[in-house]
Structure 1
Amino acid sequence: MTPQDIASRDNPLIKQLRALAHGNTAYREQGRVWLDGDHLCRALLARGGRPALGVFTAAGWDQADDTLQGAAARNLRVPDALMAGISTLDSPPRMGFVWTLPAVAAPDAQAPSVVLDRLQDAGNVGSILRSAAALGFSQVLALKGTAALWSPKVLRAGMGAHFALRLVEGLDAEALQALQVPLLVTSSHQGDWLHRTALPWPCAWVMGHEGQGVSEALMQRASAFVRIAQPGGEESLNVAAAAAICLHASASARL
Protein backbone atom coordinates (compact mmCIF):
# COMPACT_ATOMS: atom_id res chain seq x y z
CA MET A 1 0.00 0.00 0.00
CA THR A 2 1.48 3.33 -1.04
CA PRO A 3 1.81 5.72 1.91
CA GLN A 4 0.26 9.17 1.94
CA ASP A 5 2.86 11.94 1.75
CA ILE A 6 2.53 14.84 4.20
CA ALA A 7 5.09 17.63 4.28
CA SER A 8 3.42 20.41 6.27
CA ARG A 9 3.92 20.71 10.03
CA ASP A 10 0.56 22.51 10.16
CA ASN A 11 -1.34 19.48 8.91
CA PRO A 12 -4.06 18.69 11.53
CA LEU A 13 -2.98 15.05 11.78
CA ILE A 14 0.65 16.03 12.37
CA LYS A 15 -0.50 18.36 15.17
CA GLN A 16 -2.40 15.47 16.76
CA LEU A 17 0.68 13.26 16.56
CA ARG A 18 2.84 15.92 18.22
CA ALA A 19 0.30 16.23 21.02
CA LEU A 20 0.32 12.47 21.56
CA ALA A 21 4.09 12.25 21.50
CA HIS A 22 4.75 15.18 23.82
CA GLY A 23 1.75 15.29 26.17
CA ASN A 24 1.66 13.14 29.29
CA THR A 25 -2.12 12.76 29.24
CA ALA A 26 -3.06 13.50 25.62
CA TYR A 27 -3.75 9.78 25.18
CA ARG A 28 -6.73 10.10 27.51
CA GLU A 29 -8.34 12.65 25.21
CA GLN A 30 -7.54 10.85 21.96
CA GLY A 31 -7.88 7.26 23.14
CA ARG A 32 -4.65 6.28 21.42
CA VAL A 33 -0.90 6.43 21.90
CA TRP A 34 2.16 7.24 19.82
CA LEU A 35 4.76 4.47 19.71
CA ASP A 36 8.13 6.05 19.08
CA GLY A 37 10.53 3.94 17.06
CA ASP A 38 11.11 0.43 15.77
CA HIS A 39 11.39 -1.34 19.15
CA LEU A 40 8.00 -0.32 20.52
CA CYS A 41 6.36 -0.89 17.14
CA ARG A 42 7.69 -4.42 16.88
CA ALA A 43 6.80 -5.11 20.52
CA LEU A 44 3.20 -4.22 19.74
CA LEU A 45 3.11 -6.56 16.75
CA ALA A 46 4.75 -9.36 18.74
CA ARG A 47 1.84 -9.22 21.20
CA GLY A 48 -0.72 -9.37 18.42
CA GLY A 49 -1.55 -5.66 18.43
CA ARG A 50 -2.31 -3.80 15.23
CA PRO A 51 -1.72 -0.07 14.80
CA ALA A 52 -4.27 2.29 13.36
CA LEU A 53 -1.60 4.33 11.61
CA GLY A 54 2.02 3.94 10.54
CA VAL A 55 4.29 6.96 10.14
CA PHE A 56 7.58 6.64 8.25
CA THR A 57 10.33 8.82 6.92
CA ALA A 58 11.20 8.24 3.27
CA ALA A 59 14.24 6.15 4.24
CA GLY A 60 12.23 4.37 6.91
CA TRP A 61 9.58 3.32 4.43
CA ASP A 62 12.13 2.09 1.91
CA GLN A 63 13.94 0.03 4.55
CA ALA A 64 10.86 -1.32 6.34
CA ASP A 65 10.02 -4.98 5.81
CA ASP A 66 6.62 -6.21 4.67
CA THR A 67 5.52 -6.78 8.27
CA LEU A 68 6.01 -3.14 9.19
CA GLN A 69 4.67 -1.75 5.93
CA GLY A 70 1.56 -3.90 6.13
CA ALA A 71 0.84 -3.55 9.86
CA ALA A 72 -1.48 -0.53 9.67
CA ALA A 73 -4.46 0.10 7.44
CA ARG A 74 -3.05 3.54 6.66
CA ASN A 75 0.51 4.81 6.40
CA LEU A 76 2.04 8.28 6.19
CA ARG A 77 5.42 9.28 4.79
CA VAL A 78 6.93 12.46 6.21
CA PRO A 79 10.22 14.35 5.85
CA ASP A 80 12.95 13.73 8.40
CA ALA A 81 12.46 17.19 9.91
CA LEU A 82 8.77 16.54 10.46
CA MET A 83 9.48 13.22 12.18
CA ALA A 84 12.01 15.00 14.39
CA GLY A 85 9.26 17.39 15.46
CA ILE A 86 6.93 14.52 16.34
CA SER A 87 9.38 12.24 18.12
CA THR A 88 10.70 12.83 21.64
CA LEU A 89 13.77 10.64 21.12
CA ASP A 90 17.22 12.22 21.05
CA SER A 91 17.82 10.56 17.70
CA PRO A 92 14.53 10.76 15.78
CA PRO A 93 13.40 7.35 14.53
CA ARG A 94 12.50 6.41 11.00
CA MET A 95 9.08 5.14 11.98
CA GLY A 96 6.34 5.14 14.58
CA PHE A 97 2.85 3.74 15.09
CA VAL A 98 -0.39 5.12 16.44
CA TRP A 99 -2.27 2.49 18.42
CA THR A 100 -5.83 2.67 19.69
CA LEU A 101 -5.92 1.85 23.40
CA PRO A 102 -7.98 -1.15 24.49
CA ALA A 103 -11.02 -0.45 26.65
CA VAL A 104 -10.42 -1.56 30.24
CA ALA A 105 -13.35 -0.83 32.52
CA ALA A 106 -12.36 -2.37 35.84
CA PRO A 107 -9.71 -4.49 37.54
CA ASP A 108 -9.74 -8.25 37.20
CA ALA A 109 -10.47 -9.34 40.77
CA GLN A 110 -8.45 -12.58 40.57
CA ALA A 111 -5.46 -11.56 38.45
CA PRO A 112 -1.92 -11.54 39.87
CA SER A 113 -1.38 -7.81 40.18
CA VAL A 114 0.92 -4.95 41.07
CA VAL A 115 -0.64 -1.92 42.75
CA LEU A 116 1.12 1.42 42.27
CA ASP A 117 0.35 3.84 45.09
CA ARG A 118 1.14 7.39 43.90
CA LEU A 119 4.47 6.59 42.25
CA GLN A 120 5.81 9.76 40.66
CA ASP A 121 8.85 8.78 38.63
CA ALA A 122 8.13 7.63 35.09
CA GLY A 123 11.28 5.53 35.00
CA ASN A 124 10.25 3.66 38.13
CA VAL A 125 6.77 3.03 36.79
CA GLY A 126 8.05 1.76 33.45
CA SER A 127 10.62 -0.47 35.13
CA ILE A 128 7.95 -2.00 37.37
CA LEU A 129 5.76 -2.68 34.35
CA ARG A 130 8.69 -4.53 32.75
CA SER A 131 9.22 -6.63 35.88
CA ALA A 132 5.51 -7.40 36.13
CA ALA A 133 5.30 -8.60 32.53
CA ALA A 134 8.49 -10.64 32.82
CA LEU A 135 7.56 -12.34 36.09
CA GLY A 136 3.98 -13.42 35.42
CA PHE A 137 1.92 -10.55 36.84
CA SER A 138 -0.76 -9.80 34.28
CA GLN A 139 -2.30 -6.67 35.78
CA VAL A 140 -1.07 -3.30 37.03
CA LEU A 141 -3.44 -1.06 39.00
CA ALA A 142 -2.43 2.57 39.38
CA LEU A 143 -4.01 4.69 42.10
CA LYS A 144 -4.72 8.37 41.59
CA GLY A 145 -1.52 10.38 41.84
CA THR A 146 0.58 7.79 39.99
CA ALA A 147 2.43 8.85 36.85
CA ALA A 148 0.27 8.39 33.75
CA LEU A 149 0.81 4.81 32.60
CA TRP A 150 0.64 5.57 28.88
CA SER A 151 2.68 8.78 28.99
CA PRO A 152 5.61 8.93 26.55
CA LYS A 153 8.27 8.57 29.28
CA VAL A 154 6.57 5.57 30.89
CA LEU A 155 6.07 3.97 27.48
CA ARG A 156 9.77 4.31 26.71
CA ALA A 157 10.78 2.97 30.11
CA GLY A 158 8.36 0.05 29.76
CA MET A 159 10.08 -1.12 26.56
CA GLY A 160 6.95 -2.89 25.29
CA ALA A 161 5.76 -4.38 28.59
CA HIS A 162 2.54 -2.35 28.32
CA PHE A 163 1.24 -4.64 25.59
CA ALA A 164 1.45 -7.71 27.83
CA LEU A 165 -0.48 -6.20 30.73
CA ARG A 166 -3.97 -5.23 31.78
CA LEU A 167 -3.52 -1.63 32.89
CA VAL A 168 -6.09 0.23 34.97
CA GLU A 169 -5.33 3.71 36.26
CA GLY A 170 -6.97 6.54 38.16
CA LEU A 171 -8.27 4.23 40.88
CA ASP A 172 -9.25 5.11 44.44
CA ALA A 173 -7.99 2.92 47.26
CA GLU A 174 -11.57 1.72 47.77
CA ALA A 175 -11.49 0.06 44.34
CA LEU A 176 -9.03 -2.50 45.70
CA GLN A 177 -11.72 -3.92 47.96
CA ALA A 178 -12.99 -5.81 44.92
CA LEU A 179 -9.74 -7.77 44.64
CA GLN A 180 -10.03 -11.42 45.63
CA VAL A 181 -6.28 -11.94 46.03
CA PRO A 182 -4.12 -11.20 49.10
CA LEU A 183 -2.64 -7.69 49.29
CA LEU A 184 1.08 -7.82 50.14
CA VAL A 185 2.80 -4.66 51.34
CA THR A 186 6.54 -4.16 51.66
CA SER A 187 7.77 -2.45 54.82
CA SER A 188 11.22 -1.61 56.15
CA HIS A 189 10.21 -2.05 59.80
CA GLN A 190 7.55 -4.77 60.09
CA GLY A 191 6.54 -8.11 58.65
CA ASP A 192 8.23 -11.39 57.81
CA TRP A 193 11.46 -11.54 55.85
CA LEU A 194 10.74 -12.03 52.16
CA HIS A 195 13.20 -14.92 51.77
CA ARG A 196 11.50 -16.82 54.61
CA THR A 197 7.89 -16.13 53.65
CA ALA A 198 5.50 -18.59 52.01
CA LEU A 199 4.09 -16.31 49.33
CA PRO A 200 0.50 -16.79 48.16
CA TRP A 201 -0.42 -17.04 44.48
CA PRO A 202 -2.06 -15.19 42.94
CA CYS A 203 -1.48 -12.04 44.95
CA ALA A 204 -1.24 -8.28 44.60
CA TRP A 205 1.99 -6.53 45.56
CA VAL A 206 1.62 -2.89 46.65
CA MET A 207 4.43 -0.49 45.74
CA GLY A 208 4.29 2.92 47.41
CA HIS A 209 5.29 6.50 46.77
CA GLU A 210 9.05 7.03 46.41
CA GLY A 211 9.25 9.26 49.49
CA GLN A 212 6.14 8.56 51.55
CA GLY A 213 5.79 4.84 50.99
CA VAL A 214 2.45 3.02 51.03
CA SER A 215 -0.50 5.07 52.24
CA GLU A 216 -2.08 4.36 55.61
CA ALA A 217 -5.35 3.40 53.88
CA LEU A 218 -3.60 0.59 52.00
CA MET A 219 -1.56 -0.43 55.04
CA GLN A 220 -4.83 -1.09 56.84
CA ARG A 221 -6.04 -3.31 53.97
CA ALA A 222 -2.84 -5.38 53.78
CA SER A 223 -3.12 -9.14 54.12
CA ALA A 224 0.55 -9.36 55.06
CA PHE A 225 3.66 -7.21 55.48
CA VAL A 226 6.99 -8.31 54.04
CA ARG A 227 10.52 -7.03 54.60
CA ILE A 228 13.46 -7.32 52.21
CA ALA A 229 16.76 -8.23 53.85
CA GLN A 230 19.36 -5.50 53.38
CA PRO A 231 22.57 -6.70 55.02
CA GLY A 232 24.47 -3.75 53.59
CA GLY A 233 22.64 -1.46 55.97
CA GLU A 234 20.85 0.89 53.59
CA GLU A 235 17.65 2.40 54.94
CA SER A 236 15.55 1.57 51.90
CA LEU A 237 15.63 0.38 48.30
CA ASN A 238 14.53 2.17 45.18
CA VAL A 239 10.91 1.20 44.61
CA ALA A 240 11.58 -0.31 41.18
CA ALA A 241 14.37 -2.46 42.63
CA ALA A 242 12.16 -3.52 45.54
CA ALA A 243 9.38 -4.44 43.12
CA ALA A 244 11.70 -6.56 41.01
CA ILE A 245 12.90 -8.45 44.10
CA CYS A 246 9.38 -9.09 45.39
CA LEU A 247 7.92 -10.11 42.04
CA HIS A 248 10.85 -12.42 41.37
CA ALA A 249 10.32 -14.05 44.78
CA SER A 250 6.69 -14.71 43.87
CA ALA A 251 7.68 -16.11 40.49
CA SER A 252 10.38 -18.34 42.01
CA ALA A 253 7.99 -19.70 44.64
CA ARG A 254 5.79 -21.04 41.86
CA LEU A 255 8.56 -23.09 40.24
Structure 2
Amino acid sequence: MSWQAITSRDNPHLQRLRKLAQDGGGYRKLGGVWLEGDHLARAAVQRGVTPALALITDVAAEDAALHAIADAAPKVLVVSPALFKTVSGLESPAQIGFELALPAQPRIDARADTVVLDRLQDAGNVGTILRSAGALGFRQVLALKGTAALWSPKVLRAGMGAHFGLKLVEGLSVEDLDALQVPLLATSSHSDAMLHQAELPSPCAWVMGHEGQGVSDTLMQRCALRIGIPQPGGEESLNVASAASICLYESARRRLARS
Protein backbone atom coordinates (compact mmCIF):
# COMPACT_ATOMS: atom_id res chain seq x y z
CA MET A 1 0.00 0.00 0.00
CA SER A 2 1.40 3.41 -0.95
CA TRP A 3 0.33 6.95 -0.11
CA GLN A 4 1.43 9.69 -2.51
CA ALA A 5 0.94 13.45 -2.28
CA ILE A 6 -0.20 15.06 -5.55
CA THR A 7 0.04 18.81 -6.12
CA SER A 8 -0.39 19.18 -9.90
CA ARG A 9 -3.83 19.25 -11.50
CA ASP A 10 -2.18 17.78 -14.63
CA ASN A 11 -1.25 14.55 -12.88
CA PRO A 12 -2.32 11.65 -15.18
CA HIS A 13 -4.28 9.95 -12.40
CA LEU A 14 -6.28 13.12 -11.76
CA GLN A 15 -6.92 13.62 -15.46
CA ARG A 16 -8.35 10.10 -15.68
CA LEU A 17 -10.49 10.56 -12.56
CA ARG A 18 -11.90 13.82 -13.96
CA LYS A 19 -13.10 11.98 -17.04
CA LEU A 20 -14.72 9.27 -14.91
CA ALA A 21 -16.32 11.79 -12.55
CA GLN A 22 -17.61 14.24 -15.11
CA ASP A 23 -18.59 12.02 -18.07
CA GLY A 24 -21.58 9.82 -17.24
CA GLY A 25 -20.60 7.19 -19.79
CA GLY A 26 -16.85 7.58 -19.35
CA TYR A 27 -16.56 4.24 -17.57
CA ARG A 28 -17.44 2.42 -20.79
CA LYS A 29 -14.40 3.87 -22.54
CA LEU A 30 -11.95 3.81 -19.64
CA GLY A 31 -12.96 0.61 -17.86
CA GLY A 32 -13.09 2.27 -14.46
CA VAL A 33 -15.80 3.58 -12.12
CA TRP A 34 -15.63 6.68 -9.92
CA LEU A 35 -17.21 6.51 -6.46
CA GLU A 36 -17.33 9.79 -4.56
CA GLY A 37 -17.99 10.10 -0.85
CA ASP A 38 -17.39 8.01 2.23
CA HIS A 39 -20.82 6.34 2.12
CA LEU A 40 -20.30 4.82 -1.33
CA ALA A 41 -16.68 3.99 -0.63
CA ARG A 42 -17.61 2.24 2.62
CA ALA A 43 -20.48 0.34 0.92
CA ALA A 44 -18.10 -0.98 -1.71
CA VAL A 45 -15.56 -2.17 0.86
CA GLN A 46 -18.26 -3.82 2.98
CA ARG A 47 -19.35 -5.80 -0.09
CA GLY A 48 -15.82 -7.08 -0.60
CA VAL A 49 -14.88 -4.73 -3.45
CA THR A 50 -11.19 -3.82 -3.64
CA PRO A 51 -10.70 -0.36 -5.14
CA ALA A 52 -7.91 0.22 -7.62
CA LEU A 53 -7.18 3.68 -6.26
CA ALA A 54 -8.27 6.05 -3.50
CA LEU A 55 -8.28 9.84 -3.68
CA ILE A 56 -8.46 11.72 -0.37
CA THR A 57 -7.89 15.28 0.77
CA ASP A 58 -5.10 16.01 3.20
CA VAL A 59 -7.75 17.29 5.62
CA ALA A 60 -9.79 14.06 5.43
CA ALA A 61 -6.65 11.96 5.84
CA GLU A 62 -6.40 13.29 9.40
CA ASP A 63 -9.74 11.63 10.21
CA ALA A 64 -9.11 8.09 11.44
CA ALA A 65 -12.31 6.65 9.93
CA LEU A 66 -11.70 8.16 6.48
CA HIS A 67 -8.03 7.20 6.64
CA ALA A 68 -9.09 3.59 7.25
CA ILE A 69 -11.43 3.65 4.25
CA ALA A 70 -8.65 4.94 2.00
CA ASP A 71 -6.36 2.18 3.28
CA ALA A 72 -8.57 -0.36 1.48
CA ALA A 73 -6.92 0.73 -1.79
CA PRO A 74 -3.42 -0.40 -2.79
CA LYS A 75 -2.63 3.16 -3.94
CA VAL A 76 -3.80 6.36 -2.22
CA LEU A 77 -3.42 9.84 -3.69
CA VAL A 78 -3.53 12.74 -1.24
CA VAL A 79 -4.55 16.15 -2.56
CA SER A 80 -5.67 19.52 -1.25
CA PRO A 81 -9.43 20.19 -1.02
CA ALA A 82 -9.05 22.65 -3.92
CA LEU A 83 -7.44 20.00 -6.11
CA PHE A 84 -10.06 17.42 -5.14
CA LYS A 85 -12.68 19.91 -6.30
CA THR A 86 -11.21 19.88 -9.82
CA VAL A 87 -11.94 16.15 -10.00
CA SER A 88 -15.35 16.07 -8.37
CA GLY A 89 -18.57 16.29 -10.35
CA LEU A 90 -20.40 17.71 -7.32
CA GLU A 91 -21.18 21.29 -6.38
CA SER A 92 -20.13 20.45 -2.81
CA PRO A 93 -17.36 17.89 -3.27
CA ALA A 94 -16.76 15.05 -0.85
CA GLN A 95 -13.36 14.48 0.75
CA ILE A 96 -12.71 10.95 -0.48
CA GLY A 97 -13.35 8.85 -3.56
CA PHE A 98 -12.43 5.52 -5.13
CA GLU A 99 -11.70 4.32 -8.61
CA LEU A 100 -12.92 0.76 -9.15
CA ALA A 101 -12.30 -1.50 -12.09
CA LEU A 102 -15.52 -1.72 -14.08
CA PRO A 103 -17.16 -5.01 -13.06
CA ALA A 104 -17.44 -7.60 -15.81
CA GLN A 105 -20.95 -7.75 -17.24
CA PRO A 106 -22.57 -10.98 -16.01
CA ARG A 107 -24.75 -13.35 -17.99
CA ILE A 108 -28.49 -13.09 -17.51
CA ASP A 109 -29.83 -15.36 -14.75
CA ALA A 110 -32.87 -16.94 -16.40
CA ARG A 111 -34.79 -17.62 -13.16
CA ALA A 112 -33.93 -14.63 -10.99
CA ASP A 113 -36.41 -12.09 -9.68
CA THR A 114 -35.61 -9.24 -12.04
CA VAL A 115 -36.27 -5.59 -12.85
CA VAL A 116 -36.17 -4.57 -16.51
CA LEU A 117 -35.48 -0.90 -17.30
CA ASP A 118 -36.86 0.17 -20.68
CA ARG A 119 -35.07 3.38 -21.79
CA LEU A 120 -35.33 5.22 -18.45
CA GLN A 121 -33.63 8.58 -18.90
CA ASP A 122 -33.35 10.07 -15.43
CA ALA A 123 -30.31 8.96 -13.45
CA GLY A 124 -32.08 9.65 -10.15
CA ASN A 125 -34.96 7.37 -11.12
CA VAL A 126 -32.60 4.61 -12.20
CA GLY A 127 -30.54 4.78 -9.01
CA THR A 128 -33.66 4.84 -6.84
CA ILE A 129 -35.00 1.74 -8.59
CA LEU A 130 -31.69 -0.06 -8.05
CA ARG A 131 -31.88 0.80 -4.36
CA SER A 132 -35.47 -0.49 -4.09
CA ALA A 133 -34.56 -3.64 -6.04
CA GLY A 134 -31.73 -4.44 -3.67
CA ALA A 135 -33.80 -3.77 -0.57
CA LEU A 136 -36.74 -5.88 -1.75
CA GLY A 137 -34.88 -8.95 -2.97
CA PHE A 138 -34.75 -8.35 -6.72
CA ARG A 139 -31.10 -9.15 -7.32
CA GLN A 140 -30.96 -8.72 -11.10
CA VAL A 141 -31.50 -5.53 -13.09
CA LEU A 142 -31.51 -5.60 -16.89
CA ALA A 143 -31.24 -2.27 -18.70
CA LEU A 144 -32.24 -1.91 -22.34
CA LYS A 145 -30.32 0.33 -24.72
CA GLY A 146 -31.28 3.96 -24.14
CA THR A 147 -31.40 3.63 -20.34
CA ALA A 148 -29.19 5.96 -18.29
CA ALA A 149 -25.72 4.51 -17.77
CA LEU A 150 -25.94 2.23 -14.72
CA TRP A 151 -22.40 2.93 -13.44
CA SER A 152 -22.46 6.68 -14.01
CA PRO A 153 -21.64 8.84 -10.96
CA LYS A 154 -25.22 10.18 -10.77
CA VAL A 155 -26.79 6.71 -10.78
CA LEU A 156 -24.23 5.49 -8.26
CA ARG A 157 -25.06 8.35 -5.89
CA ALA A 158 -28.80 7.71 -6.19
CA GLY A 159 -28.26 3.97 -5.67
CA MET A 160 -26.52 4.60 -2.33
CA GLY A 161 -24.42 1.43 -2.55
CA ALA A 162 -27.09 -0.90 -3.95
CA HIS A 163 -24.96 -1.58 -7.04
CA PHE A 164 -22.62 -3.83 -5.09
CA GLY A 165 -25.36 -6.31 -4.18
CA LEU A 166 -26.96 -6.54 -7.61
CA LYS A 167 -26.35 -8.34 -10.87
CA LEU A 168 -26.42 -5.51 -13.43
CA VAL A 169 -26.61 -6.07 -17.18
CA GLU A 170 -26.95 -3.12 -19.56
CA GLY A 171 -27.04 -2.31 -23.27
CA LEU A 172 -29.60 -5.03 -23.98
CA SER A 173 -32.12 -5.34 -26.79
CA VAL A 174 -35.71 -6.48 -26.29
CA GLU A 175 -34.75 -9.79 -27.91
CA ASP A 176 -32.07 -10.38 -25.26
CA LEU A 177 -34.90 -10.74 -22.73
CA ASP A 178 -35.75 -14.07 -24.35
CA ALA A 179 -33.06 -15.47 -22.03
CA LEU A 180 -35.44 -14.95 -19.09
CA GLN A 181 -37.60 -17.90 -18.04
CA VAL A 182 -39.84 -15.88 -15.72
CA PRO A 183 -43.03 -13.95 -16.62
CA LEU A 184 -42.69 -10.27 -17.48
CA LEU A 185 -45.07 -7.90 -15.67
CA ALA A 186 -45.65 -4.28 -16.70
CA THR A 187 -47.50 -1.41 -15.14
CA SER A 188 -50.05 0.12 -17.49
CA SER A 189 -53.13 2.33 -17.44
CA HIS A 190 -54.65 -0.30 -19.75
CA SER A 191 -54.41 -3.03 -17.15
CA ASP A 192 -55.52 -6.64 -16.97
CA ALA A 193 -55.83 -6.32 -13.17
CA MET A 194 -55.05 -3.96 -10.31
CA LEU A 195 -51.96 -4.64 -8.24
CA HIS A 196 -53.76 -5.62 -5.04
CA GLN A 197 -56.00 -8.08 -6.93
CA ALA A 198 -53.58 -9.55 -9.48
CA GLU A 199 -52.07 -13.01 -9.16
CA LEU A 200 -48.39 -12.14 -9.08
CA PRO A 201 -46.06 -14.94 -10.18
CA SER A 202 -42.84 -15.55 -8.28
CA PRO A 203 -40.15 -15.30 -9.52
CA CYS A 204 -40.99 -12.61 -12.06
CA ALA A 205 -39.54 -9.67 -13.97
CA TRP A 206 -41.09 -6.24 -13.44
CA VAL A 207 -40.75 -4.00 -16.50
CA MET A 208 -40.41 -0.25 -15.89
CA GLY A 209 -40.76 2.02 -18.90
CA HIS A 210 -39.55 5.37 -20.17
CA GLU A 211 -40.66 8.34 -18.03
CA GLY A 212 -42.73 9.90 -20.80
CA GLN A 213 -43.49 7.08 -23.23
CA GLY A 214 -43.88 4.14 -20.86
CA VAL A 215 -43.07 0.58 -21.89
CA SER A 216 -42.53 0.20 -25.62
CA ASP A 217 -45.23 -1.60 -27.61
CA THR A 218 -42.75 -4.29 -28.64
CA LEU A 219 -41.85 -5.04 -25.05
CA MET A 220 -45.42 -4.75 -23.79
CA GLN A 221 -46.42 -7.52 -26.18
CA ARG A 222 -44.00 -9.83 -24.39
CA CYS A 223 -45.49 -9.16 -20.97
CA ALA A 224 -47.68 -11.81 -19.37
CA LEU A 225 -49.62 -9.24 -17.32
CA ARG A 226 -50.38 -5.53 -17.48
CA ILE A 227 -51.02 -4.28 -13.97
CA GLY A 228 -52.51 -1.04 -12.70
CA ILE A 229 -51.66 0.71 -9.45
CA PRO A 230 -54.73 2.12 -7.65
CA GLN A 231 -54.56 5.90 -7.33
CA PRO A 232 -57.57 6.98 -5.29
CA GLY A 233 -56.18 10.50 -5.08
CA GLY A 234 -56.88 10.93 -8.77
CA GLU A 235 -53.40 11.58 -10.18
CA GLU A 236 -52.94 10.58 -13.80
CA SER A 237 -49.71 8.67 -13.23
CA LEU A 238 -46.89 7.99 -10.78
CA ASN A 239 -43.19 8.69 -11.04
CA VAL A 240 -41.58 5.52 -12.43
CA ALA A 241 -39.31 5.06 -9.41
CA SER A 242 -42.30 5.35 -7.07
CA ALA A 243 -44.27 2.88 -9.17
CA ALA A 244 -41.35 0.45 -9.15
CA SER A 245 -41.02 0.61 -5.37
CA ILE A 246 -44.73 -0.10 -4.92
CA CYS A 247 -44.69 -3.08 -7.29
CA LEU A 248 -41.49 -4.58 -5.92
CA TYR A 249 -42.77 -4.20 -2.37
CA GLU A 250 -46.01 -6.01 -3.21
CA SER A 251 -44.08 -8.88 -4.80
CA ALA A 252 -41.76 -9.06 -1.80
CA ARG A 253 -44.66 -8.91 0.67
CA ARG A 254 -46.38 -11.86 -0.97
CA ARG A 255 -43.12 -13.80 -1.21
CA LEU A 256 -42.59 -13.37 2.53
CA ALA A 257 -46.19 -14.33 3.27
CA ARG A 258 -45.70 -17.63 1.43
CA SER A 259 -42.44 -18.49 3.18
Query: Which TM bucket (shorter chain)?
Result: over 0.9
Does the Cα contact within 8 Å between 2:17 and 2:87 map onto a contact in 1? Answer: yes
CA distance in 2, matches of 1:25, 1:198: 39
Q: CA 1:64–1:23 in structure 2 vs 1: closer, same or farther (change >3 Å)?
A: farther
2:217 matched residue in structure 1: 216
Unpaired runs of 5+ residues, structure 2, are: none
1:46 matched residue in structure 2: 46
CA distance in 1, matches of 2:137, 2:249: 9
Q: Which moved more, 1:110-119 or 1:59-68?
A: 59-68
Whether 2:117 is the aligned partner of 1:108: answer no
Shift of 1:232: 1.2
- RMSD, aligned α-carbons: 1.2
CA distance in 2, matches of 1:210, 1:83: 34
Does the residue aligned with 2:97 lie in a helix, a strand or coil? strand
2:118 matched residue in structure 1: 117
Shift of 1:89: 2.1
Shift of 1:64: 3.6
Calculate the TM-score normalised by the size of structure 1. Answer: 0.97
Does the residue aligned with 1:195 lie in a helix, a strand or coil? coil
CA distance in 1, matches of 2:118, 2:94: 33
Shift of 1:2: 4.8
1:57 matched residue in structure 2: 57
CA distance in 2, matches of 1:42, 1:23: 23
Q: How does 1:142-161 map to 2 (within 5 A)?
A: 142-161=143-162
Does the Cα contact within 8 Å between 2:188 and 2:226 map onto a contact in 1? Answer: yes
Q: How many residues align?
A: 255
Shift of 1:80: 1.2
CA distance in 1, matches of 2:190, 2:220: 13
Supply the AA of the counterpart residue of 1:214.
V
CA distance in 1, matches of 2:148, 2:64: 33
1:241 matched residue in structure 2: 242
Calculate the TM-score normalised by the size of structure 2. Answer: 0.95
Supply the AA of the counterpart residue of 1:59.
V
Q: Which moved more, 1:66-75 or 1:245-254?
A: 66-75
Does the residue aligned with 1:196 lie in a helix, a strand or coil? coil
Q: Which moved more, 1:40-49 or 1:128-137?
A: 40-49
